[in-house]
Structure 1
Amino acid sequence: MLFWEDFMNKRVVLVALLLVMALSLPLFAFAQDGGDMELPDLEGRVITVAVENAYIPFNYINDETGEPEGWDYDALAEICGRL
């Protein structure tokens, strides 16, 4: 009986793995290269972004300068520079 249980466990794992792979394939169908992506023209419109400044190193207030810093601010500055 041990052989049968071992065989069934392997079979269940294999079926589960194949199912996960099959269900994840559509995710890659819509992937884009992004290399030559055309950015939208905002035509002078303003985009407002809110940040909580509570999650170091993503966003925080620098104790020495009193200025907001972190990854979020760096990423937003880069995005704004490109738009």
Structure 2
Amino acid sequence: MFDRVSNNQLPVMFNNRGLIKLKLNQQMSALEDFNEAIKINNNRAEFFENRGHLKTQLGNESNVEEAQKDINRAKLLKQQQRVQ
């Protein structure tokens, strides 16, 4: 599906598709897309924010802990971007 997309655009497309899947209540599929976006580019705060918020919605204890890690990573990335 994304075979004609540049490497810079690919993680953004996975992230955006994940957001669409969230609106369609397809949480697990959205999580896979957020994971893929982060796997390709782990320097974008919004990818971690989106995954963190989704994990919070999923609600079990391990997801909540993982969600907090993602949200903390997003905050750190935002701080680093301000410094540069």
- TM-score range, shorter-chain basis? under 0.3
Question: When the two structures are superposed, what TM-score results if normalisation uses the length of structure 1?
Answer: 0.28
Look at both structures and tell me which one has the larger radius of gyration over its CA atoms: 1
Structure number having the greater helix percentage: 2
Question: When the two structures are superposed, what TM-score results if normalisation uses the length of structure 2?
Answer: 0.27
Considering Cα pairs closer than 8 Å and 6+ residues apart, tell me whether 1 or 2 has the greater RCO: 2
